[in-house]
Structure 1
Amino acid sequence: MRESWRWFGPDDPVSLDSVRQTGATDIVSALHHVPTGDVWTVDEIQKYKSKIESGNSEHSQLVWSVVESIPVHENVKLGREGCDRYIDNWIASMENLAECGISTICYNFMPVIDWTRTDLKYRLSSGAYALRFDQKKFAAFDLFILKREGAYSDYTENEVSEAHDVYLQMSDEEREQLARNIIAGLPGRMTDAYTLDDFRKALAEYADMDHDQFRQNLAAFLNRVLPRAEAIGTHLAIHPDDPPRDMLGLPRIVCTAADLDTLFESHPSKANGITLCVGTYGSRPDNDLPQMARRFGSRIHFAHLRGVIRDPKEQRSFYEAEHLNSDIDMVKVISELLKEEKKRTGSESSPTKEIFIRPDHGHQMMDDIEKTVNPGYSGIGRLKGLAEIRGVIRALSATL
């Protein structure tokens, strides 16, 4: 497996020199400064690639191998007239990346917002901090802070009552912080943060969008992109919706194994693959991650290895756990990925032989607690996760 590390560019609190010390060999990054919908030019890609790889002559090697992400313009997701030019630009960016030697692209088709959490610094019993999604807090935001039109129809009477109690118990400052946590531009987004009014307007654009139409919009995108990706040897790896279920009245279509079956039945191209985000899929109790890793192994081009612990009383609530101590059997997942790599050996028709993996998210802990960090992307917590994952890989590899 190829050990990779998410890096957010020169302003990332975790420097490339620090990344080298983790033992990771591959960088996962993006041109965060390029506006959504614009073309990533060869010149800009090469400049960024040079920043990452310029120290290789004197230090251990780092290679920009995976893009996360080229954002898909909202007009494409909405299927608006004239969106073809944004798809053309996406294809041009993909082609330019391939010209520069980068052929694995993680992307998502989540409407309006990227991954969503209610708490960006949830204190654990160990004293470390984790990301958390609290369903009751989220409902309180949706119903009583955002006051989304039609929101009440998404909740039972008991859920509305519980959310109201949570809302009343929060101070004004806590309510403002909750809103910022949910709608702010989090790592992985390439747009400015929304105001509440902006957010309401963006959500309203999807008022008449159902799952079938949204799948058709994804299909229209892939119909254009996949033939070219296959021709140039690029592997696309769609990331699941996070959390993997409908929310805020938005249709979500990459949440379960059944969703992936639908995706591959409609678009069987070998370039059409997935990012196996273990923590995201694992936040649904009906997703069996070892089974999914086995079933979709040939489609896995990239894997985010993290786990979550779901609230036993409210399965939609979870916090991000230690990488090897969660509701997900990470050892079994890694075993399935290693078996898939072994299958690929000697197969000319397979995607890249080795699967890119990265320790996704990590606890804010030890010296990082007082530092400014990108939520979920502090250095020490991810280093701990990578070390644990590396140990599992070494141990399992000796027996396969």
Structure 2
Amino acid sequence: MKQTWRWFGPHDIASVDDMLQSGVEGVVSALHHVPNGMVWSPEEIARRQQQIATRKDGSPSGIAWDVIESLPVSEDIKKQKNNWRDHITNYKTSLENVAAAGLEVLCYNFMPVLDWTRTDLRWQVAHGGTCMRFDIVDFALFDIHILERPGAAEDFSADVVEEAARRYRDYDEAKKKALARNVTMGLPGSTESMTLDDVRAHLAEYGEISPEQLRQHFIDFLSEVVPVAEKLGVRMCCHPDDPPFALLGLPRVMSTEADYRTILDAVASPSNGMTLCSGSLGARPDNDLPGMMERLGDKVHFLHLRNVKRDSDVIAGSFYEAEHLGGDTDMVALIAAILKEEAKRKAAGRADHQIPMRPDHGQDILDDLGRRSQPGYPTIGRMKGLAELRGVMTALGHRQYGVA
């Protein structure tokens, strides 16, 4: 695996120099300042490449922008409303521009409204560090009592609804506001939240779009852009839903292995692939991560390696972001499956035999606790996770003792 690191740009607390000291081999980034649906210009792409290629003292960094995460699919495209056709045209133009700049791997998602959802961004774990957490009761509290979505209570079990009502009575206004801000913060590269009215407006726009309709909209999008990507040599890879179950009455179409199989088969192309995120998929107990890697591995173009610890084995349940080797996913088994897939690719002569990987998220520990980084992206916590993953990779790939 090629060891990469997500970087949000010059405002990121982790600098290019920090990435070098962490031992990364490449960078994952995006142009978060470009509005969704608009074209990524050659000038803006080149500017980001130059930023990554330069250390604080002006000398060359020796690392490059390897993976795009992400070139967002606009809400208009997902809903097939308003300017969606223009946005698809712009997406194709952006593909041409990133390919001309030498970028080949493009991670994106097809989640409605929010790119990820958590209820607590600084939840304290036993050792005193903090992490992100999704609490199903707090989410129900938000959905039913703060957002006041019609029919929301019907989407939760009776005991969750009852406990959400009790907590709502006990929470003061500051705690309710903090919860609302956390839930509505799931936008890529952003530290800002949507307003409740923003969320309500999006939900109203989706109206009665069913999972089947959203899936067809996804296939329509891919049918347009994947042939362009294939011609340009760009490998697109969809990130799973996070978390991988329905929220806010919105459809979810990339939560399980069957979901991926449907999309990959519908638009068959080496440019239509998968971002295997062990944290997102691992939040659902019926997802077999090592098995998914074995069965879908030839379509995996990018890897997010992180772990979550679930509170229970219900499909839509609570979980927190654990240490990379400490959650419910068998990370050793998953990495073994990845290394076997890479060996198969190399033997077959595939140019993409080395799959880019990044240590996804991390717990805030040590000095991270005072830095208030992008939620989920502390410097030391991710470096610790990368070191743990690197150790597993090294052991499993050892020529004398390894199994891969």
Aligned position for 1:338: 339
Indicate conservation of the 8 Å contact 2:185/2:191, yes or no: no
Deviation at 1:247, TM superposition (A): 0.8
Whole-angstrom distance in 2 between the partners of 1:174 and 1:97? 43
Q: Give the counterpart letter for 1:253 in structure 2.
A: V
Q: Deviations over 1:34-54 (max 9, x none)?
A: 111110011110111011113
Aligned to 2:318, the other structure's residue is in SS state strand
Structure 2 segments unaligned to the other structure (5+ residues): none
Aligned to 2:13, the other structure's residue is in SS state coil
Identity of aligned residues (%): 46
Q: Give the counterpart letter for 2:170 in structure 1.
A: Q
Q: 1:35 to 1:100 in 2, by over 3 A?
A: same
Deviation at 1:25, TM superposition (A): 1.3
Aligned position for 2:220: 220
Whole-angstrom distance in 1 between the partners of 2:61 and 2:151? 54
Q: 1:351 to 1:243 in 2, by over 3 A?
A: farther
Deviation at 1:156, TM superposition (A): 3.2
Q: Deviations over 1:16-41 (max 9, x none)?
A: 11111000011100011111111001
The answer to whether residue 301 in structure 2 is matched with residue 301 in structure 1 is yes
Q: 1:351 to 1:113 in 2, by over 3 A?
A: farther
- Structure 1 residues 371-382: aligned runs within 5 Å: 371-382=371-382
Q: Deviations over 1:203-231 (max 9, x none)?
A: 11112100111011101100001111111
Whole-angstrom distance in 2 between the partners of 1:192 and 1:88? 28
Aligned position for 1:393: 393
Whole-angstrom distance in 2 between the partners of 1:314 and 1:78? 29
Q: Give the counterpart letter for 2:91 in structure 1.
A: W
Q: 1:249 to 1:191 in 2, by over 3 A?
A: farther
Q: What is the number of equivalent residue pairs in this alignment?
A: 398
Whole-angstrom distance in 2 between the partners of 1:73 and 1:351? 31
Aligned position for 1:167: 168
Instruction: Provide TM-score, normalisation by structure 2.
Output: 0.95
Indicate conservation of the 8 Å contact 1:36/1:190, yes or no: no
Aligned to 1:13, the other structure's residue is in SS state coil
Whole-angstrom distance in 1 between the partners of 2:103 and 2:287? 31
Aligned to 2:208, the other structure's residue is in SS state coil
Deviation at 1:81, TM superposition (A): 5.4
Whole-angstrom distance in 2 between the partners of 1:17 and 1:110? 33
Q: 1:318 to 1:22 in 2, by over 3 A?
A: same
Indicate conservation of the 8 Å contact 2:16/2:54, yes or no: no
The answer to whether residue 210 in structure 2 is matched with residue 202 in structure 1 is no
Aligned position for 2:287: 287
Q: Deviations over 1:270-304 (max 9, x none)?
A: 11101100010000000010101111100111000
Instruction: Provide TM-score, normalisation by structure 1.
Output: 0.96
Aligned position for 1:360: 360
Deviation at 1:153, TM superposition (A): 2.1
Whole-angstrom distance in 2 between the partners of 1:81 and 1:281? 32
Q: 1:13 to 1:82 in 2, by over 3 A?
A: closer
RMSD: 1.6
Indicate conservation of the 8 Å contact 2:109/2:238, yes or no: yes
Deviation at 1:82, TM superposition (A): 4.2
Indicate conservation of the 8 Å contact 1:4/1:24, yes or no: yes
Aligned position for 2:323: 322
Aligned to 1:341, the other structure's residue is in SS state helix
Q: Give the counterpart letter for 1:41 in structure 2.
A: S
Deviation at 1:92, TM superposition (A): 0.9
Aligned position for 2:153: 152
Aligned to 1:54, the other structure's residue is in SS state coil
Structure 1 segments unaligned to the other structure (5+ residues): none
Whole-angstrom distance in 2 between the partners of 1:351 and 1:176? 50
Deviation at 1:166, TM superposition (A): 1.7
Indicate conservation of the 8 Å contact 2:54/2:61, yes or no: no
Deviation at 1:351, TM superposition (A): 5.9
- Structure 1 residues 1-400: aligned runs within 5 Å: 1-55=1-55, 58=59, 60-80=61-81, 82-184=83-185, 186=187, 188-189=188-189, 193-312=193-312, 316-348=317-349, 350=350, 352-398=352-398, 399=402, 400=404
Whole-angstrom distance in 2 between the partners of 1:185 and 1:252? 15
Deviation at 1:313, TM superposition (A): 7.2
Deviation at 1:325, TM superposition (A): 1.0
Which range is displaced more, 11-20 or 309-318?
A: 309-318
Q: Give the counterpart letter for 1:35 in structure 2.
A: P
